[in-house]
Amino acid sequence: MTRTTTPTTPTAPAPAAPRSPGDGDGALAAAQAALAAEHAAVYGYGVVGGRIAEDRRAEARQAYDAHRARRDALRRTVRRLGGVPEPAAAAYSLPFAVPDAAAAVRLAAELEERVAAVYADLVRAGEGELRREAAGALREAAVRAARWRGTGVPFPGLAERAASASPETF
């Protein structure tokens, strides 16, 4: 009997059940999400580096190197938590077109804000050294975002959640 399969379209995973801080499965899922964000940031900084003005190229290179280092550390963390690190995608969709240096700066700020958001989740899910590392990564991303944007936000990693929250969620 020949078995045939039909191609499927990837779907988003079902939302996970709420987990308490320090929950091993929650920490693994948050670490995988942070790893995915770092993969995307590394890709995004490749685009930034191709469009950024000369006077900010060193800053972009430092951010690129920092995200590569965090990505590599997260691979080890995922393994330590019992998971298999998700590989990087071949390409990522950018949130907007990046035709010039000004758009490259906006993209760098956006990348940092997105990375900060997933590290905020990892801070919540982790404990001990994992929480400290995630808090350090959140702080670094928030500082880079503020430098790229020229301004900061009151609660890095939580800004987009506050903007989308409705009164019913409080």
pLDDT tens profile 86-130? 999 999 999 999 999 999 999 999 999 999 999 999 999 999 999
CATH code of residue 128:
1.20.1260.10
Per-residue pLDDT at 155 = 61
**At 10, is the secondary structure helix, strand, or coil?**
coil
What total number of domains does the chain contain? 1
Per-residue pLDDT at 156 = 60
Per-residue pLDDT at 16 exceeds 70: no
At residue 156, what is the residue type?
P
Domain extent, residue 31, equals 24-153
Is residue 123 situated within a structural domain? yes
Q: From its phi and psi, is residue 85 left (phi > 0), alpha (psi between -120 and 50) or beta?
A: beta
Is residue 3 situated within a structural domain? no
Is residue 73 situated within a structural domain? yes
Is residue 44 situated within a structural domain? yes
Task: Check: CB of residue 115 under 8 Å from CB of residue 103.
Answer: no
Is residue 8 situated within a structural domain? no
In which element (H, E) is residue 151 found? none
Is residue 96 situated within a structural domain? yes
Is residue 15 situated within a structural domain? no
Contacts of 152 by beta carbon, 8 Å cutoff, 6+ apart: 142, 145, 146
